[in-house]
């Protein structure tokens, strides 16, 4: 009798979420909230357009995604900065830094961009992709007790995902990446979800260093699912010197 009472007391002392949720249950709720697995997999290409606000100025932004490929660019004053990954190589054009010719990016950049290039998101079939996940209960995010999930990517980088407790969509991602042996932590707030081809996507994305109040905000105004995106859009420009 005493043993059972002691066990009962220990169970009462456990956090309420210890038995209320698992990582797989949370991921399943998130996939359903986004529109379901079939709808997510029905999108094989995505083109996003909008505006970037940062440091007191605005720029036009575009993002292109295909399975395993990603390209983002922003334009201001007649110049366009590009970052792209074709599934193997990552490269950039940085005219604002005085580099108008394409430049190959590092292996550390490839690790980060390979996650961005996952069109269906890293949580879908995470184990098959070599990622690991862990449910960590809830945490207050701007007044919301958000569900908290740690993901360790197959690349070795990490991220903490926070989900709205009612709608189970991501509201914040805190990432941890390594560049030349040094850790960098970034924070991204997601909101203004809209349905695109049956899948809910965030149309407001604010990014910056972890804990910083100065974030760059992208507001998307248009999203086109299954747009025709040529391989050349992602590949290192032909004829350019590496």
Of 38-52, 142-156, 201-215, least confident by mean pLDDT is 201-215
Check residue 242 and give its pLDDT: 57
pLDDT digits (tens, 9 = 90+) for 103-121: 999 999 999 999 999 999 9
Tell me the percentage of the chain whose pLDDT exceeds 70: 90
Banded model confidence at residue 240, pLDDT cuts 50, 70, 90: low
Check residue 16 and give its pLDDT: 45
Residue 159 neighbours by CB under 8 Å, 6+ apart: 150, 151, 153, 173, 174, 175, 176
17 in helix, strand or coil? helix
The runs of H, that is alpha helices, within 74-225 are 107-116
Check residue 208 and give its pLDDT: 92
Distance between CA 187 and CA 123 in Å, rounded? 18
User: Domains of the chain, with CATH numbers?
Assistant: 19-233 (2.50.20.10)
> How far separated are the first and last CA of the chain, in Å rounded?
74
Closest among 236, 231, 238, 237 to 67, alpha carbons compared: 231
Residue corresponding to tokens 């709205």: 164
Q: What would the mean pLDDT of 138-157 be, rounded to a whole number?
A: 96
Distance between CA 242 and CA 220 in Å, rounded? 32
Query: Is the pLDDT at 10 greater than 50, yes or no?
Result: no
Check residue 96 and give its pLDDT: 86
| Sign of the CA dihedral with 161 first, then 214, 103, and 182 last | negative
Distance between CA 135 and CA 148 in Å, rounded? 6
Residue 107 tokens read as 């292996």
Query: Which residues on neighbouring strands pair with residue 196, listed in sequence order?
Result: 199
| Sign of the CA dihedral with 101 first, then 183, 70, and 224 last | negative
pTM, entire model: 0.88
pLDDT digits (tens, 9 = 90+) for 48-72: 999 999 888 899 999 999 999 999 9
Q: What would the mean pLDDT of 4-29 be, rounded to a whole number?
A: 63
78 in helix, strand or coil? coil
Check residue 213 and give its pLDDT: 79
Closest among 39, 60, 38, 40 to 50, alpha carbons compared: 60
With contact defined as beta carbons under 8 Å apart, do 165 and 172 qualify?
Answer: no
């Amino acid at each position: 009798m005493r043993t059972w009472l002691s066990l009962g007391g220990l169970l009462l002392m456990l956090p309420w979420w210890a038995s209320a949720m698992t990582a797989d249950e949370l991921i399943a709720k998130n996939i359903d909230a986004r529109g379901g697995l079939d709808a997510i997999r029905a999108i094989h290409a995505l083109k996003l357009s909008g505006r970037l606000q940062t440091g007191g100025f605005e720029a036009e932004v575009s993002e292109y995604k295909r399975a395993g490929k990603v390209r983002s660019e922003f334009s201001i004053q007649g110049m366009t900065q590009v970052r792209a990954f074709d599934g193997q190589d990552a490269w950039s054009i940085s005219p604002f830094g005085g580099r108008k010719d394409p430049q190959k990016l590092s292996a550390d950049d490839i690790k980060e961009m390979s996650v961005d290039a996952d069109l269906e998101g890293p949580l879908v079939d995470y184990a098959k992709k070599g990622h690991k996940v862990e449910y960590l209960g809830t945490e207050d995010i701007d007044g919301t007790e958000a569900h908290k999930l740690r993901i360790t990517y197959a690349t070795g980088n990490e991220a903490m995902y926070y989900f709205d407790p009612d709608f189970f969509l991501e509201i914040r991602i805190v990432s941890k990446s390594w560049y030349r042996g040094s850790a960098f932590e970034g924070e991204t707030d997601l909101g203004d979800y809209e349905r695109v081809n049956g899948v809910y996507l965030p149309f407001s994305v604010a990014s910056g260093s972890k804990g910083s109040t100065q974030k760059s905000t992208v507001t998307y105004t248009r999203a086109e699912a299954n747009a025709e995106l040529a391989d050349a859009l992602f590949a290192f420009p032909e004829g350019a010197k590496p």
